[in-house]
Structures are given as C-alpha cells and as structure tokens.
Structure 1
Amino acid sequence: MACIHFEENTPVIMNILEMSNSTIESPVCLNVLRLIQLTGRLAPVLIDHQHKPKCTSLHSTHSRHIINAFQSYQRQNMGKVVVKLFTSISPYETMHDEICMLAADTRVCMLILPFHMQWRSRQISKSANPIKTLNRHLLETTPCSVGILIQRGNLIRNNTLNTLSFYNVGIIFVEGPDDREALTFAMRMADHPNVSVTLIRLLEPCNKSINSIDRDPDGDLVHKFKVDYIEIKRHDYREKIVADSVEMINVIRSFEGCYDLVLAGRRHDNESPMLSGLTEWHEHPELGSIGDMLVSPDSAFDGSVLVVHQQSRIGVGHDHFQLGSSIYSQINTMEV
C-alpha cells in the first residue's frame, strides 16, 4: 500500500512500483490510498474507487489526476499489476487508525509512506507537522512492514522506468530484520533488467568475512544475493570495514552521485561501535541512524531513500495477521 498526500508523490511511487519488477509469474498488487485532511465536523469517509469509479464532489482535481495516472499504468501492465484505489478523508489525529484497518483488511505486506519533507528545486519545504506525527504513529501501530520514502533526484521524474532509463540502487546492510526486509525488496528490484543493485555490507573489524558464510539469517540472505546476482554484470557486492561512527559517516558521504535510490533498515544495534553516539544527533528518529545521515543537511547525497521498518507486532483487527506477511517471507509474490 502506498499513501499519497500530494500529487507530487505520484511519480516516485510509480517508479518504485515499476522497479519492483512485476511479471505475469510474480505480479504486484498496489493499493493506493489518497489521504485528505478532514476539516469541519463532517464524518470521516473512506472511498473505494473500485465500487465508486465516478468522481464525486469530494474529489479534487489533484485526486482525479492521481487516480487517472495509476489506472493508466494498470492498463499498460495488464496481468502484471493490479492497482486498487482508495481515498481516506479523516482528521490527522485518527488517520493512522484508518490506514491500519485498511492495511489489515487488504493484507498488505508493506506500507510506503512519503516523508514529511520534500525537496524541490534544491529548496527544502516542510509539510505540516501532523504528517510527521502520522508517520511515527504508523511505525508503532501498522500491521505490516513500513517503508518511509524520501523522494529526491531522478525518481521524481514524471515518466516511469522504461527501456531508455536505468536506475542504480544501493542497499546498506548492517544487521537485523529491518536490513533483511530492505535487502529482500532490493533483490526483487535486481530482477528488473533496467535496475542495477549494489549491496554494501558494513562490518566491524572483528566480523570481517573471509571466504566463509555466516550461519545466521543475515549471512544467509547476503549469501543468497551473492549467489543469485553477483555474476550478473550490472550488480555488485562490496564489504566495508567500519570501526566507528566517524568511518560510518565517511561511508555515507561516499554515496554522493552514485545511486538514484538507497534502501536502508531503520533499526540497528545502537551499542555497535559503528553507530555509537549517532542516535544523540538524530534530527529525524523515524528514519533511524543511517536514514537520518543520508538526509542530513551535511550530506551531499541527492538521491531518494527508502527506510524500511519490519513490523513485529500482531496486526490491527486480525489476530492471525502477523510477520509472516512481510516481504522477507513472501519473495515470490508481493503485495505492497
């Protein structure tokens, strides 16, 4: 499921959808939820555009443009992509409840949320603070994994990925379930012929791997990437030894001009020397240490960022809707 606050969110979501490499054998179902703040004393409204295709007085011109864009994309990719369109008109204070219930009802495995700040023409404009609060509520309550999307650079172009365009994707891998979720998503992108994926694994000096495979979930998934993709010339795998937070910052700075999209997990072991002290300087805790560094004013990285948070709680309204619905456990057929 992808939430959209403004029409400007549409191109980058469509590019993420295209990069997800939907095929007849492995289709993608995308639920698009247009979010509109409710003002006045009207009751909240959830519109299912599959059952109410005609526009009503509640729809703005922007909403019609968003609906038309995704319906057109579905027609162009018939059999590979299913797009379901919804509009939620509710107060920001309760909007997270509406989103969580729809996510549970439609059994999505990932919820993509636009970051509350947008970069336009090298200028940073902040959206209303309620959007930031909404994202933080959803990180705590959503029944599925969450990806917070910071949209910049090439991904905000109006045209979707095609035979004339090529995107470089980087994945920063340290450890833990969030990183595994991000890497699994990147591996799906790696199957797209116009996407290049580079996996950068950050290791502490004592954990340097030399011709060995760690028998753990992190090592197993990294090994799968190396076996399945490293022989494909457009993909790459790198290991970097990072002793402390200063070296971590230098690694992040090296990404300048290299990637159109970087994926990173949100949570890591804060006791790790490579992340030590970084949480004290967080400007945006919802992005985690690495995501916060990538969007920091001190960072020259100008691509988009997807920060992934793998949910570990039971879904809202469905006791049986658990972590098994994550991307990590559903590599073959993904619903986002």
Structure 2
Amino acid sequence: MLVYSTVILMGIITPLLSILYDPSKPYMVSQRRTIQHTAPNDHLRILVCIKDKQHLSGIVNLLHVSYPTVQNPFAINVFYHVELIGRGNPLFIEHQYQELGELVTRFPDWETIHHALCLFQEGREDCVDLEFFSASTARITMYQNVCNLALKSNTVIIILPLEKKIDGGLAAAEQWGGGNQSVIIQVLENAPCSVGLLVDKAEQRQVLQQPSHHNFIVLFLGGPDSREALSYSGRMATNPNVSLTVLRFLVLNGEGDDQLQKKLDDGVVTLFWVQNERNERVSYTELVVRNGADTIAAILEAAKERYYDMWIVGRKQGINPGLLEGLSTWTENQQELGIIGDYVSSADSVNADSVLVIQKQVMIGKASNTSTGGSTLSSLRRRTLSRR
C-alpha cells in the first residue's frame, strides 16, 4: 500500500508542479530593458559572461568599438563562470565585497580576466563602471545565475561569447552545453533583457591597443531582433574609427510582411538614417529579394565587395518567411543563432573576425517568431538612399 500510494502521489504531484510552477516567471519583467529604449545619456548596462580567458580579446574589442563616452556611459558587469564538477559547494562571489582568497584555485583565469578588463577601463573611469562577479555552479543552473544577475543589475543586454571550431562549426556544446539544456538556449528563453551572442571567427586576435579603422555591416531582415541590432550599431556608428554599412532586405511586392512590424521597422530605420544622414562613414542600402536563395546571394556579394570585421544580425524574431524561404536545411546551429546568424558565422565564404547575433528582449506574453521555407535563385533589385 505504501508503494502504491507513493507511485500515485508522485504521478499526481509531478505534472501538477509542471503546470503550476513556471521557472521563467521570476525573470520576466514588464518594463523594457533594451538598447533601443535606453536613453543616449543614460548608462548602457551590459552583462558580459565569460567561461574562458580565450574569449577576452573578442569581448574587450567589442567594448572598445561600442565607444563608451561621457555622453554615452557604460555600466559593465563581468561574470566569470566556472562549471562545478564533483561534490563541491556552489559559489557566488561579488568581488566588490568579497575576495577569492583561498578559492582562487577554483577560478584559474580570474586574474587574467580582471587585469584585461581593468586595462580597458584605464583612462575611461569617467564613462565606464566595472563590477566583477564569479560563480562556480553546475551547468544546469548557470542560466539562473546569469538571469538573476541581469535582473538585479537592470542589465539591457547580456553578451555570451562563442568560438568557431576548426571544422567550421561552433564550440557551443563544449562551452555551454548542447540540446535543450544548453545554457545559451536557457538564457535566450528566460533573459529579462536583450541577448547578444558574439561568435569569434578569428583564429588569432589581439586586444585593440591603438585606434584602428573597422568596417562593420548590419543585415537588417526586419522584426524586433533586427531593430535591436540596428540600435546597437547606431551607437557604434558614433565611433570615428568605425565605418558602418546597413543592408535592409525586403521581399518583392511585400509578400508575407507583417504590417505592424513593417511600420515599426520603418520608424527605426528612418530614425537611424536621420541621426546618421551627415555621417560619411555610414551607408544604407535596400535590397529587394524573392526568396532565401536571393538573400544568401546578396550576403555573398557583400562579402566579396568588401572585408567586414564584424557582421551584425538579428536572431530571428519577426523576419518575413519569404526572406528565409528554402534555408531551413542549410544550417546546423539555427536554434541558437537563427538561420542567417548561423550561416554568416559558419560559412567560409563570409570572412570576418566576428559575428554578433542579437535577440531583443522578449516581453511577457510574446513569443519569438520563427520562419522556414524553400527556393531558387532570382534577380535582385537594389536601392540605395543617398545623402541630401
């Protein structure tokens, strides 16, 4: 009777808990925490997650080109995460109030990470606030630490670094776990703010020491993620050492467009162009395509015309399915990066130092839009806006 009652009780409680308890609920907020809705003179609050010192050069270079100034200050939280293996106790350390002490052996890269970020802050104390955190927890609970810290620090974007493997794939599974238990997927689904996935494609990279010129490109396919990517790029465009190219993709005759999303896209693009109309380092081009093959053809053409140090693209929310028609079987990591983000990150024909894939904050009651489809190559119609 005890065995039967236990089985029946567990059979009732387990599904009941899954119905009544939503683990993502604590991280879902009603206020907007995005770059797009952050005032220019307000602190841009960034949470940088690091699992390996190899990610440092890409992270520091991204912060360099993001161009913190007194008018556009940054508040950066650096979160060094070490996977807990064995029976040790989980740790969470806020370095403003607690030092590592004897625990330094559990955080082997801490001194290197701290030194690199402090060098970045040197000379920018008036526009860059730095705080350091460390945690040693099991991989399955890492996303909870990330989302909790983002929630409490009012972060507007979380930066998660990834690496490109030698065979052209991504080292996501090795660094952050694979499948539905991937830390990346969990953060994307539960983050209380926007998320940026930084894919490092450079085999060897040095941290920027002296000002050098960079060429960046934004692939604007429409939707909330693309609008957030354009907003972040707009901040980079204020950097005198950055040239920015924006390619906006439109479906022929507007087939499949969500009219509300289209109006929102038009508003953000218009505002961006008004702000950068006299900026000779910014160019904006509209491409009219018929299907996914046209979209890829335009991307490859852009890659041939010019070398871009960084490609910036929205993840997948709100993209017109016609832009991705026939591309759903082309990529392997689209769950994390979206179809276009994964293609640009993995394709050897798209040369770049890095790729930044951005997901805008998913508000309460709103789900991400996905798109799929199928294919033939057609002609492109190009329209470029000239400066008045």
TM-score, normalised relative to structure 2: 0.73
> After superposition, where does 1:1-336 map in structure 2 within 5 Å?
1-53=47-99, 55-59=101-105, 60-115=107-162, 117-119=163-165, 126=171, 128=174, 130-132=176-178, 133-153=182-202, 157-160=205-208, 162-163=210-211, 165-207=212-254, 216-256=263-303, 258-269=307-318, 272-284=321-333, 285-297=335-347, 299-314=349-364
Per the alignment, residue 386 of structure 2 pairs with: none
Q: CA deviation at 1:91?
A: 0.6
Per-residue deviation, residues 65-117 of structure 1 (Å, max 9, x unmatched): 001111222232111111111111101011111111111111101001112x4
Q: CA deviation at 1:230?
A: 3.3
Unaligned runs of 5+ in 2: 1-46, 256-260, 367-388
Alpha-carbon distance in 2 for matches of 1:314, 1:98: 20
Paired amino acid for 1:240: L
Higher RCO (CA-CA < 8 Å; seq separation 6+): 1
Q: CA deviation at 1:52?
A: 2.3
Q: Partner of 2:275: helix, strand, or coil?
A: helix
8 Å contact 1:168–1:197 — kept in the other structure?
A: yes
8 Å contact 2:85–2:138 — kept in the other structure?
A: yes
Alpha-carbon distance in 1 for matches of 2:188, 2:209: 29
Alpha-carbon distance in 1 for matches of 2:101, 2:120: 19
Paired amino acid for 2:358: V
Taking a change above 3 Å as real, the CA distance of residues 153 and 270 of structure 1, as seen in their structure-2 partners, is same
Unaligned runs of 5+ in 1: 209-213, 316-321, 323-336
Per the alignment, residue 329 of structure 1 pairs with: none
Dislocated runs of 4+, deviation >4 Å: 122-125, 268-271
Alpha-carbon distance in 1 for matches of 2:191, 2:286: 33
Alpha-carbon distance in 2 for matches of 1:53, 1:314: 37
Taking a change above 3 Å as real, the CA distance of residues 125 and 20 of structure 1, as seen in their structure-2 partners, is closer
Taking a change above 3 Å as real, the CA distance of residues 82 and 93 of structure 1, as seen in their structure-2 partners, is same
8 Å contact 1:252–1:293 — kept in the other structure?
A: no
Alpha-carbon distance in 1 for matches of 2:101, 2:364: 36
Q: Partner of 2:155: helix, strand, or coil?
A: coil
Alpha-carbon distance in 1 for matches of 2:83, 2:323: 41
Alpha-carbon distance in 2 for matches of 1:298, 1:169: 18
Q: CA deviation at 1:8?
A: 1.0
Alpha-carbon distance in 1 for matches of 2:248, 2:174: 36
8 Å contact 1:55–1:64 — kept in the other structure?
A: no
Taking a change above 3 Å as real, the CA distance of residues 237 and 84 of structure 1, as seen in their structure-2 partners, is same
Per-residue deviation, residues 11-60 of structure 1 (Å, max 9, x unmatched): 11111111111111220011111110101112211111112246543344
TM-score, normalised relative to structure 1: 0.84
8 Å contact 2:221–2:319 — kept in the other structure?
A: no
| Identity of matched residues, % | 31
Alpha-carbon distance in 1 for matches of 2:188, 2:126: 32
8 Å contact 2:196–2:356 — kept in the other structure?
A: yes
Q: CA deviation at 1:279?
A: 2.3
RMSD: 2.6
Q: Partner of 1:254: helix, strand, or coil?
A: helix
Paired amino acid for 2:291: D
Taking a change above 3 Å as real, the CA distance of residues 24 and 270 of structure 1, as seen in their structure-2 partners, is closer
